[in-house]
Amino acid sequence: MVAFALMLTGVVATGRSSGSELRRTPVVVAVENARTSVVNIFGEKPADTQEERPVKGMGTGIVVDRRGYIVTNFHVVDGVSEINVTLAEGDTLAAELVSSDSLSDLAVIKINARRPLKEITIGTSRDLMTGESVIAVGNAYGYGHTVTRGIISSLHRTVQISDTQSYRDLIQTDASINPGNSGGPLLNIDGEMVGLNVAVRAGAQGIGFAIPVDQVMDTIADLMNTQVTTHTRHGVETAEGEPGQEGIVVKSVATGSPAGTMDLKPGDRLTTVGGSRIHHRLDFERALLDYRPGDSVSVGVVRGGAPLSLSITLAKADQNVDATARAIWDMFGMKLRTVPSDRFQRFHSQYSGGLEVTDVRAESPASRQRIRRGDILVGMHVWETTTLENVSYILSNSDVVGRDAVKFYILRGGDTLFGYLPVSGSVRR
């Protein structure tokens, strides 16, 4: 009888062990792997008038670089005077806005982390299947790291969120996405990020949307270009490689740039930078974050199937562009950034390009004309403005010199607006 009782006890104990393992489902594992790469974002927008109170907001972000770079939605940080980030461990740190793109509703912020952060595992959105399981993680209503699950309901959705914001090619999911979830990851069952949660259909249940991760990565690579993050220039324009292909593809090389002097050619595939393997365009920019102008970096290249080892010496960011940017800031009180043409066409096919307003100085001519961050400058006088050099040409043109003001055209959401900026008188320093 004693032996029989012991045997039964052993069966029960084994049953408990088996049950615990059954509880660790793929969803649990996926959330555990991603949780520390997700942060909660809180901010405060100044009131428009003294009678109104500041507006408190919330959102979510994902860690894309161990040195403190975080991706979220532009609308989460737009107009926010103070950005605070709470990590999964509970630490709250101040963040600064690095760069943003209102067209794609994406932004990069940075915190000074006390230790290296865990980067989110990036998947791909090119092979997503309608009906497959997905998981949303976010700061829903301020409840940090809320987890919901569902399926992909549909792909390639075009959604008009408001009069000033629309999205194309979105992932639709029935995983609950609530206010505060914006900027958080949509994960597949393997714990890989396949989308960035962006919106929910007002008044509807079970209808949420996310930006495909391939689109996010492409934009973030531009927002984290070394000219923005470390003020260094490499002169390489890259494109993602084909599925299964090693590295990324060199799309073009600027004449006279560091890449141009190292004999890098369009069509080359970049596989390593400074010993780091390159899988995405973002990897290339991240690999250069610790280098400064004058530093030499080893670059692994595949050309015609043969591996090559080259070296690139980084330079300072283009001084001519910097001078033009300073002049625009002095004269109008706004900072501008070129929107890559391929991304611009995705949202505004009737224009060939534009310049995004990234900052506006208080009480400046731009501020008085109610130009605001996120607007896209598409023209001045009778010319398009696709680069800073265009603006420089326009302001020095004989048709403009001597005028009191120049007419400008901006895109805000789906509307084209215009106004007049003064071009005569003293320049503010």
Task: Name which of 149, 126, 152 is nearest 138 in CA terms.
Answer: 149
Please indicate whether residue 231 is annotated as part of the active site: no
Q: Does residue 277 contact residue 271 with C-beta atoms inside 8 Å?
A: yes
Question: Which DSSP letter does residue 231 get?
Answer: S
- Residue 349 CA to chain centroid, in angstroms? 21
Q: Which residue is catalytic, options 105, 222, 268, 283? A: 105
Quickly count: other Cβ atoms within 10 Å of residue 209's Cβ. Answer: 23
Please indicate whether residue 349 is annotated as part of the active site: no
Please indicate whether residue 75 is annotated as part of the active site: yes
Q: Coil, strand or helix: which one is 75? A: helix
Q: Coil, strand or helix: which one is 125? A: coil
- Environment class of residue 353 by beta-carbon count within 10 Å: exposed (0-12), middle (13-18) or buried (19+)? buried
The span from the CA of 411 to the CA of 407, in Å, is 14
Q: Which residue is catalytic, options 99, 102, 182, 257? A: 182
The span from the CA of 143 to the CA of 183, in Å, is 14
Distances (CA, A) of 425 to 23, 271, 331, 367, 399: 72, 52, 9, 17, 17
Q: Which residue is catalytic, options 65, 75, 99, 104? A: 75
- Find the Cα–Cα–Cα–Cα dihedral 371, 107, 279, 121, rounded to 10°: -160
Q: Does residue 38 contact residue 88 with C-beta atoms inside 8 Å?
A: yes
Paired strand residues for 419: 408
Longest dimension (CA), the chain: 108
Pairing of strands 315-316, 82-86: unpaired
Residues annotated as catalytic are 75, 105, 182
